[in-house]
Amino acid sequence: MRVNGKEIPLEKPQTLQEFLLEQGYRLALIAVEHNDVIVPKADYATVLLSDSDVIEVVSFMGGGCETVCKI
């Protein structure tokens, strides 16, 4: 799976929400694009990931946008 341009192995079947939390992302502070489609936060728990997925995670900060927003 490619996350923000970096290959990350998907070690087990999981939802987008499980992956994001496992990686330390603060869900309230990010937006996620999954295979070129912006995912509503309400759908994070239902989107199942696969090895061929492309994910972009961005956070919005005062003055611009950062590509990572972790705890």
CATH number of 50's domain: 3.10.20.30
Tokens of 44: 């994070």
Tokens 């603060």 label which residue? 26
- 6 found inside a domain: yes
Is pLDDT of 10 > 50? yes
How many domains does the chain divide into? 1
- For the entire predicted model, the pTM comes to 0.83
The DSSP string of 40-65 is PGGGTTTPBP-TT-EEEEEEEETTEE
- 71 found inside a domain: no
- 59 found inside a domain: yes
pLDDT tens digits, 23-69: 999 999 999 999 999 999 999 999 999 999 999 999 876 655 555 55
Range of the domain at 60: 2-66
Instruction: Give pLDDT, residue 59.
Output: 86
